[in-house]
Structure 1
């Protein structure tokens, strides 16, 4: 599995155009695993937002945090537009980073 250890802002979703969560981390791989495993309570566990649908890498944590705050203040449609610019089918980008597909979960087919 490819390690991605640098500051980033990311969006998780419950499914195609489903519930969206915006977060920030310095270790995307570890954070994806935490969200998928439900190792801590919170928004993504409650709404099963386990699909990585967008992420942006930054040089510093301050830059990533600034971007996270910006996105969190956006309207929902702006977040959807951001995701669909590069990921129109809302595929789980975690699979491209080496994670196994989530069983019974699909973003790209509208379910």
Structure 2
């Protein structure tokens, strides 16, 4: 019996209004760990957290790649992703490339 693994990249909104981006192979468990403060780290003192976006990937490498990319995004671009606003994401990407 084989299992089709699913990996997730996700964005949490912390109680201080900041965002945390991560990846996992068990979204439900990982969210519970963030909420309970099971591990010290960025979200520990910023609880409660709210899951505002996640997407599934076939491989861990794909999820990690998405995590790394999104971590480099502006706050506005992360918010647009959470809202599913692809037009705004595209526009924000254009604005950033013009400023280089």
TM-score by length of structure 1 reads 0.67
* Number of equivalent positions: 81
TM-score when normalising by structure 2: 0.74
What RMSD in Å do the two structures reach over aligned CA positions?
1.8
Which structure would you say has the larger RCO, counting Cα contacts within 8 Å and 6 or more residues apart? 1
1:1-111 equivalent positions in 2, closer than 5 A = 6-14=6-14, 18-48=17-47, 50-85=49-84
5+ residue gaps, structure 2:
86-100
Segments ≥4 residues shifted beyond 2 Å: none
The separation in 2 between residues aligned to 1:83 and 1:71, in whole angstroms, is 11
- Higher-helix-fraction structure: 2
Unaligned stretches of 5+ residues in structure 1: 87-111
Q: Tell me which structure has the larger Cα radius of gyration.
A: 2
